[in-house]
């Protein structure tokens, strides 16, 4: 199956038009079988960076178990990535059943003010980088982190890589509406996007929506 392609409209600037068309021609021929997230498995393993964000790890653990209790989703396994002793202490204090989750132990934590471009090398055993590594190694299909956004983006880019033909990664949150919702892409990963990048963001968002 191929990604759906919408022809690029004419542009006043001929160079811009040529560049956009070339980009779309490249993307339209990428089989969806090559997209890591095009076909979601029936059973998903989600890696949670337990030590990322405010009030971690307690807030992340409470959120994880709230999801498990409210949705009772047997098709999802949560992998809590963080210091095992601290995670178990939190689970005990909240009377949560640790058998409902998998714990992956790490020894480092990424702070919010650290230089993001080097985190994946300098703190390979951090909860953030390890969560991304689990996806790269095929041990998880998704990552959740409320931590250092730049570090998450850089680690994902260098460890997992981009979709073939895509020039830049993008943030793509789902925005719910009364009629369902839409994907906002890009939502801040790029400050200086060029026309061909916008075309690719639209193509990725369209492909993403087809699988929601």
DSSP 50-118: TTSSTTTTHHHHHHHHHHHHHH--TTEEEEEEE-HHHHHHHHHHTT--GGGSEEEE-SB---TTS-GGG
Q: What is the pLDDT of residue 149?
A: 94
Q: Are strands 76-82 and 102-105 parallel, antiparallel or unpaired?
A: parallel
For the chain, the average pLDDT equals 85
CA distance 205 to 183: 6
Strand pairing partners for 49? Answer: 81
Q: What is the pLDDT of residue 46?
A: 96
Residue segments in the chain with a per-residue pLDDT below the cut of 70:
1-42, 73
Q: What is the pLDDT of residue 37?
A: 42
Is 134 in contact with 47 (CB distance < 8 Å)? yes
Rg (CA), the chain: 19
Query: pLDDT digit string (tens) for 108-144?
Result: 999 998 989 889 999 999 999 999 999 999 999 999 9
DSSP 146-195: -S-HHHHHHHHHHHT---TT--S-----EEEETTEEEE---SSS-SS--H
Entry pTM: 0.79
Q: What is the pLDDT of residue 211?
A: 82
CA distance 66 to 55: 16
* CB count in 10 Å sphere of residue 184: 15
Q: What is the pLDDT of residue 41?
A: 60
């Amino acid at each position: 199956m191929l990604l759906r392609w919408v022809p690029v409209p004419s542009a006043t600037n001929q160079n811009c038009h040529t560049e956009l068309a070339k980009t779309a021609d490249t993307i339209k021929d990428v089989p969806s079988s090559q997209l890591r997230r095009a076909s979601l498995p029936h059973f998903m393993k989600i890696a949670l960076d337990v030590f990322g964000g405010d009030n971690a790890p307690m807030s992340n653990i409470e959120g994880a178990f709230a999801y498990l209790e409210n949705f009772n989703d047997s098709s999802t396994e949560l992998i809590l990535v963080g210091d095992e002793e601290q995670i178990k202490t939190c689970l005990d204090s909240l009377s949560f059943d640790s058998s409902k989750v998998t714990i992956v132990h790490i020894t480092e934590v990424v702070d919010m003010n650290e230089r993001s471009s080097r985190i994946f090398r300098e703190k390979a055993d951090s909860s953030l980088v390890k969560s991304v590594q689990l996806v790269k190694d095929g041990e998880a299909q998704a990552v959740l982190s409320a931590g250092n956004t730049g570090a998450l983006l850089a680690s994902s880019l260098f460890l997992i890589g981009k979709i073939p033909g895509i020039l830049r990664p993008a943030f793509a949150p789902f925005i719910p509406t009364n009629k369902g919702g839409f994907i906002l892409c890009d939502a801040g990963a790029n400050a200086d996007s060029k026309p061909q990048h916008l075309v690719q963001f639209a193509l990725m968002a369209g492909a993403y929506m087809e699988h929601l």
